[in-house]
Amino acid sequence: MTARLRDALRTAAADVPTYPVYERALATARRARRRSAIATVAALVLVALTGAILPLARTPAADPGASTDAALPDRIALPPIGTLHATDRPRLGPASVIFSGQAPRLQGWDEDGIVGVVSADSDRYRIFSMGYEAPVGEKVILSPDGRYIARPGGPPDDPRVDIIDLVAGGHTRRLDSKVADSVGTTPLAWSPDGKQLVVEDSVPTSPEGASYRQVLSIVTLDGERWTWLTDEAQQAIFGSPVAFAPGGSRLAYQVGRTVTVADPDGRKESSFLLPAESWLAGKGAWTTDGALTLVTRKAGTSDWSLRSVDPTTGRDTGPLPLPGVSGVTAIRLLGWGPGGSALVVAYQPEPLSPDRFDQPLEMDQRTAYPNVRRVRVLALTPDATAPRTMMTAPEQILAVDVADNVIHSGRTRDASPPDGVGARFWFWTILITVLITGIAAYRTREQLALWLDDRRVKRARRQET
């Protein structure tokens, strides 16, 4: 090669752009590492979501016909933070108890009027939110078999009752009101077979809504048939003023101081006034022999007892041979267990309440949240000297309802309520943690890539030495 050709080649080579081999290789490695990091973060998010969601979704719905050892727990507790909702998977199945109150965990950060649900045969808890205070046993009621919960639903321009199915699919069924101008529909009682509901609609009688009238109806669970019962001016009534007789052939309801007995087609059989300081006992007011039960307060005291009356004439047939309950604001009869034992809810008074409970007071005030500290479920056994405590609850659980099949069976169990935190807490904790980690990794991806490269170079140098 001549010197002239060599110089010409060097000149041509100098004009060719150089390829940054090391820099391009480093950039390619960084891109690959960034993509790997992003893929890893995405995989972690997917795994976290899958791990949190699968427990909620993989368990099949319970068999509606499956038998359960439904029993009354000897105590209930506040639902853990992050408790699953009533419609979450795995399905809860039938419930034994529902409860409500004003404890912090029944109010929530962004929810109000939370209702707790306890499984029929275990200490699994669920919740759902009403958005407002709605005492169970009065405005939120549990079906006889524990499968359904009926609650008021919808704003004033959409009056309805929602039926939550705890067994099959967790669906919520709507029963839209068929009462003209209704501004609210409240469930009051289930029929013994769980196929019908008595509901109450509030209808304004003045343009400004200063007064209302009450319309009581019986509605089938499919919402197809509405049977009118009564239409009255709004008066003070006691929580669940409707009681079905065993078999569902008759029902009794209280409006003001009057009790009416009717059949499921709305035909009235009798009507009578209640004595002073007496009220229809609750959903368990009918005895097995066809009599009606009243709760009565001894004048000047906080002592309560049960009395029997003739459902046709209202004639007092005398006190029942059951122990009384003292030192409470009121009692409510849930139903009858084996051996003629009466199961009642006893409302323990709030010491700071300005009201006197040994004085005349309307029943709705006696059971109002501000006047109650806690509730207990008691068994009043024939010829016993004192009530027997069947279930206790923490302070500020202020209302409970118990499934009829649990009451009638008389079965109880030693409870061990859950503590700590629930599945929803872990779901959101894992999700938020993974998202924060992923965002931090993405924002520092260049520094992370350099750090990984430095580690690779140092590791290579150590291997060479």
Rounded-to-integer distance, Cα 62 and Cα 57, Å:
13
pLDDT tens string 378-387: 999 998 999 9
In a domain, 378, yes or no: yes
Parallel/antiparallel/unpaired status of strands 412-413 and 72-73: parallel
Strand partners, 38: none
pLDDT value at 56 more than 60: no
pLDDT tens string 360-405: 999 999 999 999 999 999 999 998 999 999 999 999 999 999 999 9
Q: Are residues 333 and 377 in the same domain?
A: yes
Q: Are residues 354 and 245 in the same domain?
A: yes
pLDDT value at 250 more than 80: yes
Domain count, the chain: 2
**Residue 141 pLDDT class (50, 70, 90 cuts):** very high
pLDDT of residue 240: 66
Q: Are residues 273 and 339 in the same domain?
A: yes
Q: How many CB atoms lie within 10 A of CB 442?
A: 13
Residue 369 DSSP class? G
In a domain, 106, yes or no: yes
What DSSP letter does each residue of 49-83 carry, written as one string?
HHHHHHHHHSSPPPPTT------EESB--PPPBTP
Rounded-to-integer distance, Cα 313 and Cα 271, Å:
8
Q: In what order do the strands lie in the sheet with 148-153?
A: 141-142, 148-153, 160-165, 172-176
Q: Are residues 249 and 391 in the same domain?
A: yes
Is-cis flag, bond preceding 323, omega within 30? no
**What mean pLDDT value characterizes the chain?**
84
pLDDT tens string 91-104: 899 999 999 999 98
What's the pTM?
Answer: 0.81
Q: Specify the 3-state DSSP secondary structure of 218.
A: strand
In a domain, 37, yes or no: yes
In a domain, 415, yes or no: yes
Structural domain span for residue 41:
21-53+424-464
Q: Are residues 266 and 170 in the same domain?
A: yes
pLDDT value at 62 more than 50: no
Contacts of 435 (CB under 8 A, 6+ apart): 45
Rounded-to-integer distance, Cα 272 and Cα 364, Å:
21
Q: Are residues 109 and 40 in the same domain?
A: no
In a domain, 5, yes or no: no
pLDDT value at 192 more than 90: yes
Q: Are residues 167 and 129 in the same domain?
A: yes
Rounded to a whole number of angstroms, the CA Rg of the chain reads: 33
pLDDT of residue 150: 97
pLDDT of residue 31: 60
**Residue 342 pLDDT class (50, 70, 90 cuts):** very high
pLDDT value at 63 more than 50: no
In a domain, 4, yes or no: no
Interval 84-112 mean pLDDT: 87
In a domain, 12, yes or no: no
Least confidently predicted of 28-42, 126-140, 224-238, 287-301:
28-42
Q: Are residues 450 and 365 in the same domain?
A: no
Q: How far is CA 401 from the centre of its chain?
A: 11
Contact 232, 213 (CB under 8 A): yes
**Residue 59 pLDDT class (50, 70, 90 cuts):** very low
Q: Are residues 31 and 139 in the same domain?
A: no
**Residue 68 pLDDT class (50, 70, 90 cuts):** low
pLDDT value at 32 more than 50: yes
Q: Are residues 86 and 188 in the same domain?
A: yes
Interval 246-258 mean pLDDT: 93
Contacts of 271 (CB under 8 A, 6+ apart): 258, 259, 260, 261
Say how many CA atoms lie within 13 Å of 376 toward its Cβ.
16
Interval 28-53 mean pLDDT: 52
Say how many CA atoms lie within 13 Å of 5 toward its Cβ.
2
The CATH number of residue 325's host domain is 2.120.10.30
pLDDT of residue 207: 78
Q: Are residues 43 and 108 in the same domain?
A: no
pLDDT value at 271 more than 90: yes
In a domain, 215, yes or no: yes
Rounded-to-integer distance, Cα 244 and Cα 192, Å:
7
Q: Are residues 434 and 314 in the same domain?
A: no
